[in-house]
A and B are shown apart, each in its own frame.
Chain A
Amino acid sequence: QSVLTQPPSVSGAPGQRVTISCTESSSNVGATYGVHWYQQLPGTAPKLLIYDNSNRPSGVPDRFSGSKSGTSASLAITGLQPEDEADYYCQSYDSSLSGSVFGGGTKLTVL
């Protein structure tokens, strides 16, 4: 079974750069599926930030970027702003489940 592991929390000062990791522990070694990232502001629905490892939907600022190498993916946020304070989730597909899996989420605090 695939598990996506994220750090519970990260923090940074305004203007700084932070990264959030998403590591896959999976029986699907060798299978390659895209990793996607979501931002969830307090009390709101998740919003797609990055899809297929590194693609930004229209309207997402280029301060947000994604990458993937092997079984690890990362979300980077540059020029940190107070409004970036939110929960961030990675998501991918697990063929053993025939469904999606989400990471446990990372709470970003802007100091």
Chain B
Amino acid sequence: QVQLVESGGGVVQPGRSLRLSCAAYGFTFSNYGMHWVRQAPGKGLEWVAIIWHDGNNKYYTDSVKGRFIISRDNSKNTLSLQMNSLRAEDTAVYYCARGLYQGVVTSYDYWGQGTLVTVSS
């Protein structure tokens, strides 16, 4: 069955970097666009980034542009999020999610369990 497993979260100081990973199982990873969605403690959901199935297109929400980089390795069925220059407002549970359709106009049919990133000095 489809499974997404995130890892890499933790506590990091403001201005530092962290890299999240998402391992995909149970489907042909290279056929699907993949997304990161985050949820600050006690808050709602916020879409962060998308990468196309072939890695050729990427989009980001404005607040992370220039700081976060989404990437994927289709040979290893792995999605990544490199987070640089972290800020306190980046503190959240980060979910990887599979796009039901290709591209940005889509819903998310499978989600990982999430990994918590805490940015604090």
Report A's interface with B, CB cutoff 8 A: 33-34, 36, 38, 44-48, 51-52, 57, 89, 91, 93, 97-105
Which residues 35-56 in B have Cβ within 8 Å of A in the complex? 35, 37, 44-47, 50
**B108 within 8 A of partner (CB):** yes
Report B's interface with A, CB cutoff 8 A: 35, 37, 44-47, 50, 59-62, 95, 100, 104-114
A104 to chain B: which residues have CB within 8 Å? 44
Contact A51 B45 (CB under 8 A): no
Contact B47 A101 (CB under 8 A): yes
B46 to chain A: which residues have CB within 8 Å? 102
- The tally of CB-CB contacts under 8 A between chains A and B is 62
Which one, A48, A57, A91, A99, contacts B45 given CB within 8 A?
A91
B112 to chain A: which residues have CB within 8 Å? 45
Q: How many Å from the CB of B95 to the closest CB on chain A?
A: 6
Contact A51 B109 (CB under 8 A): yes
B45 to chain A: which residues have CB within 8 Å? 38, 46, 89, 91, 102, 105
Contact B109 A102 (CB under 8 A): no
Which one, B50, B104, B113, contacts A45 given CB within 8 A?
B113
Nearest-neighbor residue (CB-CB) of A1 within chain B:
B62
Q: How many Å from the CB of A79 to the closest CB on chain B?
A: 24
Instruction: Indicate the member of B44, B61, B105 with the most A CB atoms within 10 Å.
Output: B44
Contact B108 A103 (CB under 8 A): no
B106 to chain A: which residues have CB within 8 Å? 93, 100
Contact A51 B100 (CB under 8 A): yes
Query: What are some 10 contacts across the A-B interface (CB < 8 A)?
Result: A34-B105, A45-B95, A46-B37, A48-B100, A89-B45, A93-B106, A99-B104, A100-B106, A102-B45, A103-B44
Contact B109 A48 (CB under 8 A): yes
Contact B105 A33 (CB under 8 A): yes
Known: A45-B113, A91-B107, A99-B60. 17 other contacts (CB 8 A): A34-B105, A36-B107, A45-B95, A45-B112, A48-B108, A48-B109, A51-B107, A52-B107, A91-B47, A93-B106, A99-B59, A100-B35, A100-B37, A100-B47, A103-B44, A105-B44, A105-B45
